[in-house]
Amino acid sequence: MRLYEAILPYPQIDPVLVHIGPLAIRWYALAYIAGLLLGWWLVLREIAQKSLWANPPFGKKPPANAEEIGDFVVWATFGVILGGRLGWVIFYGLILCGMDPGAPYCYGLPGGFVSDPIRIVAAWEGGMSFHGGLIGVGLALWLFTRRRKLDLVRVGDLIATVAPIGLFFGRLANFINGELWGRPADVPWAMVFPNPLAGAVPRHPSQLYEAGLEGIVLFAILQLALRKFRWHEKPGLMIAVFFLGYGVFRTFVEFFREPDAPFLGPVTMGQMLSALMLAVAAYFFWYALIRPKSQQTDGKAKA
């Protein structure tokens, strides 16, 4: 099959759902809201299911109550937005654009951050990093559990079970925005994305690959691990599975996703950051399964 022979039409969906006067409500913002609200709802369902917390180390008490989870959603919202934007500024605007300032998406970065500092916070122009958002949520979780005197790792396990929901909606929003497209392809489901930077070339809809793997598949794995295998009874194991699953799936999809800019030869920025996530996964596997019993306590876990 030659390139361009069989392609699917890209569904032209306006990135703005509706205009209310000068206010534009975008699908991307709704994706964040949907991920947070659905994740919140499911965590409440999980902590209300008494059978999940009947065995040690929980003693019939979930890691947090409904009020504490509701409060954490506010912390997580700030963490994902601030972390996501600052992560993009650092990983992509500074590091990648510093290495290749001529990349099409750089538009004068990183020097533009000095000449026009408002670009540092201009998330409405595009530019959010999942890895940065994850760091932001992790920091929010650490501060929140420390303030509320909750077990960091056990609450983290709980949050990990619903994290793929946000990933799923976020990748769908990337697809609607026609951004983060894939590499040129001759598969029957290849699409021509409307962004002029993508060119009139059929490409992998890599955003949908990520929505399926990082969202649906990873969510199913974590829910199975929670409800069938009860891996949450080994604190840290659910966090490890989440980091492992995301790291593997993101690394795989990077072979089909157009790199933002050259990084280290064939290694993309996404793969490098995912390698760090695999290292974090290895630590939590050690924490959950190998850690000496002398370091395990019946009280607050210390990661």
The residue type found at 282 is: A
Q: 105 burial class (0-12, 13-18, 19+ CB within 10 angstroms)?
A: middle
pLDDT in tens, the chain (303 residues): 454 555 788 998 888 888 787 777 788 889 999 999 999 999 999 999 999 999 999 999 999 999 999 999 999 999 999 999 999 899 888 888 888 777 666 778 888 888 888 888 877 666 788 889 999 999 999 999 999 999 999 999 999 999 999 999 999 999 998 989 999 999 999 999 988 889 899 999 999 999 999 999 999 999 999 999 999 999 999 999 999 999 999 999 999 999 876 678 888 888 999 999 999 999 999 999 998 766 665 445 445
What local confidence, expressed as pLDDT, does residue 301 receive?
45
Cis before 196 (ω within 30): no
- Which one-letter DSSP state was computed for residue 50? G
The residue type found at 168 is: F
What local confidence, expressed as pLDDT, does residue 297 receive?
54
Two structure tokens written together for 231: 């891996």
What local confidence, expressed as pLDDT, does residue 1 receive?
42
Give the DSSP letter string of 113-149.
HHH-GGGGT-GGGS---HHHHHHHHHHHHHHHHHHHT
What local confidence, expressed as pLDDT, does residue 126 receive?
66
What local confidence, expressed as pLDDT, does residue 238 receive?
98
158-210: per-residue pLDDT in tens?
A: 999 999 999 999 999 999 989 899 999 999 999 999 888 898 999 999 999 99
Q: At what angle do helices 27-48 and 152-160 cross, to 10 degrees?
A: 120
CB 237 within 8 A of CB 218: no
Two structure tokens written together for 131: 């890895």
Cis before 57 (ω within 30): yes
Q: From the CB of residue 271, how many other CB atoms can be counted at a distance below 10 Å?
A: 20
What local confidence, expressed as pLDDT, does residue 130 receive?
86
What local confidence, expressed as pLDDT, does residue 50 receive?
96
What local confidence, expressed as pLDDT, does residue 247 receive?
97
What local confidence, expressed as pLDDT, does residue 258 receive?
92
What local confidence, expressed as pLDDT, does residue 57 receive?
94
19 forms bridges with which residues in the sheet? Answer: 24
